[in-house]
Amino acid sequence: MVITVTTVTTIIKKIIDISLVWIMFYIILKNIRNSVKLTLLFKGVIIVIILKVISDFFGFTTVGILLEYIIMYGPLALIVIFQPEIRNILEQLGRNQLLGRHKVLTVDEREHMVYEIVQAMDYLRKHRIGALIVIERDVSLGNYIDKAKKLYADLSSDLLIAIFYEGNPLHDGGVIIQGDRITCAGAVFPTSSSSKINKRLGTRHRAALGIAEETDAIALVVSEETGRLSIAVKGELFYNLSLDDVRMMLIDELKPKTDTTYEEDLEEEEIYEEDN
């Protein structure tokens, strides 16, 4: 059997074609995993497909017709409803996320980051100063950064305290942290409409949960009224946490996904013991 240049070229093209399709699926599934709303959307689409298969198998005419209308006009409705999420996905592709946009923090840098944030939150809670601190992870927060006041400053507890001090014009908004730097202040986030959140909680808590529902960011809140600490992450709000709870959750959430070595875990435990 003679393999010609044309045959080899055809095989290479097919491999590239299949690889590109799998990369697209990977990006879509990764963004679905990082967004609570997109996860619910994905589950809904799967349910509709399953119901369609069942109706065709058993010959349910009425149900089949209804599902056909849903499948026909559903994509248009989803584009309108989930426009912000789709825009975020396209924005991430434009920012070359696959090429490693974010800086990978070392153990020392993560230790410093957690220490500065916890120190600031401790001061803010004691003085009943409200605060909203959002830490960007894989999902870009560029859309919120563009509309906020740019800082690009080294992360420090003193700067965080100064930003949220009542006399500061930026204290009402949120701070966004990228890597180990404060990128902006005065950021405005979407508020959650979840019925699970306590009605007594204010705008900061709803904004923290809102950004945690739409992205994989970590949102930290200091209540102005009570001084209580909260963290919103992965679409959930953890309310009335102790300072140690905040520290441990930050250490766990900021740990790289591939970092599972024993030495790394030991170093994180030493950080916790030194802070106490």
Same domain, 125 and 60: no
Same domain, 23 and 57: yes
- Give the CB-side neighbour count of residue 175, counting CA atoms within 13 A: 33
Same domain, 154 and 26: no
Closest CA to 240 of 211, 207, 188, 198: 198
Amino acid (1-letter code) at residue 31: N
Same domain, 93 and 160: no
Same domain, 134 and 267: yes
Tokens at residue 229, please? 């600490």
Last residue of a domain, one of 99, 133, 150: 99
Comparison of pLDDT for 265 and 73, the residue scoring more: 73
Number of compact structural domains in the chain: 2
Query: Whole-prediction pTM value?
Result: 0.63
Same domain, 19 and 111: no
Sequence-ordered list of residues with C-beta below 8 angstroms from that of 121, at least 6 positions apart, any chain = 131, 133, 220, 222, 229, 243, 246
Mean pLDDT, residues 204-224 taken together: 92
Q: What radius of gyration do the chain's Cα atoms show?
A: 23
* Spatial separation of the C-alpha atoms in residues 190 and 176, rounded to whole Å: 14
Per the structure, the complete domain to which residue 93 belongs is given by 5-99
List pLDDT tens digits, range 225-259.
999 999 999 889 999 999 999 999 999 998 876 54
Same domain, 187 and 60: no
Same domain, 113 and 194: yes
* Spatial separation of the C-alpha atoms in residues 120 and 125, rounded to whole Å: 9
List pLDDT tens digits, range 20-54.
888 877 776 766 665 666 677 777 888 888 888 88
Bridge partners of 187, per DSSP, are 174
Is residue 261 a contact partner of residue 101, using CB atoms and an 8 Å limit?
Answer: no
Same domain, 81 and 134: no
- Give all strands (DSSP E) within 108-213, no chain letters: 131-135, 149-154, 174-178, 181-187
* Spatial separation of the C-alpha atoms in residues 175 and 173, rounded to whole Å: 7
Greatest alpha-carbon pair distance for the chain in Å reads 81
Same domain, 89 and 55: yes
Last residue of a domain, one of 99, 115, 146: 99
List pLDDT tens digits, range 1-14.
455 767 878 888 88
Helix 203-214, helix 36-58: angle, nearest 10: 50
Comparison of pLDDT for 193 and 95, the residue scoring more: 193
Is residue 103 a contact partner of residue 179, using CB atoms and an 8 Å limit?
Answer: yes
At 106 the three-state DSSP class reads coil
Comparison of pLDDT for 112 and 273, the residue scoring more: 112
Amino acid (1-letter code) at residue 259: D
Same domain, 94 and 148: no
Comparison of pLDDT for 82 and 265, the residue scoring more: 82
Produce one character per residue of 84-107: b if its CB has 16 or more CB atoms within 10 Å, e if not.
ebeebbebbeeeebeeeeeeebeb
Same domain, 81 and 148: no
Instruction: Identify the band that residue 170 occupies on the pLDDT scale cut at 50, 70 and 90.
Output: confident
pLDDT at 214: 86
Last residue of a domain, one of 47, 64, 99: 99
